Homo-oligomer: A and B are copies of this chain.
Amino acid sequence: MARDSRTTKSSLLRAATDEFAAYGIAGARVDRIAAAAGYNKNLIYVHFGSKEQLFDAVYEAAVQEILEAAPFDAEDLPGYAGALFDFHHAHPHLMRLSRWHSLERHGVLLPVAEKANSAKLRALAAAQGEGKVDAGLPPHLLLALLVALAGTWAEGGPEPLGELVGAAEIAARRHAVVVSVGRLTRPGAPGRPLPGTFTS
């Protein structure tokens, strides 16, 4: 095996991603990560410093990947939600990482995520201003709801015992997400307009 610290580091990172996604921070084993990557445990400490810092590196990479995978489009929110759904379905371990992070690190947002988030909020507010998105709810609430909908069946949600989930069911879920986001965001509230502000 050629000696290249870059590939070594990325091998370790990949193995660590799997391990942390499967077991969380507390449950992950440094030895297992090293063994899975086919390197000595010490290299983890050389490259990343500690188990915790290794998790940080893993998590940051995962966040980057998620952010890139589903580009935000304030004018097609159902499409965005669908893309998110697809991504979660294709990469369940990233959603798991995110859930571990929120539980074991009290969900503090990374600067990258924070930045991406406020960009989304601006775009959403603009779309609402132009009447392209229903303005009944403030952007930050609407965005959160939308993301929650897209992640409803992402790994970490309760799954019926043992039942295998077929392609038809997946398609149905995706459809449900897309339809629901459409209903939440399509301009012109159904029935009466929403109450003026959001103070219950």
Contacts and interface: CB of A to CB of B under 8 A. Distances in A.
Interface residues of A, number: 58
24 contacts: A23-B26, A24-B103, A25-B27, A96-B103, A98-B158, A99-B99, A99-B103, A107-B156, A107-B157, A108-B161, A109-B159, A113-B158, A114-B160, A137-B176, A145-B176, A148-B151, A171-B199, A179-B194, A183-B183, A183-B184, A183-B190, A184-B184, A189-B190, A190-B190
Interface string A10-34: 0000000000000111110000000
A47 interface: no
Number of copies of this kind of chain in the complex: 2
A141 B160 CA distance: 12
Contacts of A149: 145, 148-149
A147 to B, nearest CB: 8
Interface of A: 23-27, 96, 98-100, 102-104, 106-109, 113-114, 136-138, 141-142, 144-145, 148-149, 151-153, 156-162, 168, 171-177, 179-180, 183-184, 186, 188-191, 194, 198-200
